[in-house]
Amino acid sequence: MLDLLCPNVYLESIYELDLNKLKQKGIRGIITDLDNTLIAWNDNTVYPKLDEWFRMLKEENFKVCIVSNNSRGRVKIFSDMLDIPAIPKAVKPRRKAFRSALDKMGLKPNEAAVVGDQLFTDVLGGNRLGLFTVLVIPVSEREFFGTRIVRKAERWVLKKLEHKGLLQM
């Protein structure tokens, strides 16, 4: 079970993602979480650095899709601003939303990476489908109440993975 919770890569933020290494692995698309991966929970601002990151992804010919457990309205704001497809109310870690994202991008699981800040939604869901998984440190400590509770279990799992030498930053 621990391997399903182990990301392929663990980074400080999305900005550390090495696009050339992804390309070398045959990755052509990125499925990204929204809250606390791209922006702080309940923040509606696309900051210049984030906008630039998405511009760079497009320039490098990466397809991108947001997959979020958040509401349709919130996710649509960013989907529209960034001009990329999105799947709200994803019910991650279920695989259906990840499959939908792959369909929207026209990719197979081995051609996509999932980037997110949570082990039990983003990493678990991505690993269950055979995606390349990237865990990032949350951009903010402000979170939905339920997420704060899950973070305690997540910290325990991260320590176990690190102790077994499976997790490297």
Cα three-residue angle 146-120-43, rounded to 5 degrees = 55
pLDDT of 1: 67
Cβ burial, residue 71 (10 Å; 0-12/13-18/19+): exposed
For residue range 16-51, what is the model confidence (pLDDT) as tens digits? 999 999 999 999 999 999 999 999 977 888 889 999
- Please report the pLDDT score of residue 160 as a whole number: 76
Which residues have CB under 8 Å from 50's CB, separation 6+? 38, 39
pLDDT of residue 9: 94
Q: What is the pLDDT of residue 33?
A: 97
Domains (ranges, CATH) in the chain? 2-163 (3.40.50.1000)
Entry pTM: 0.89
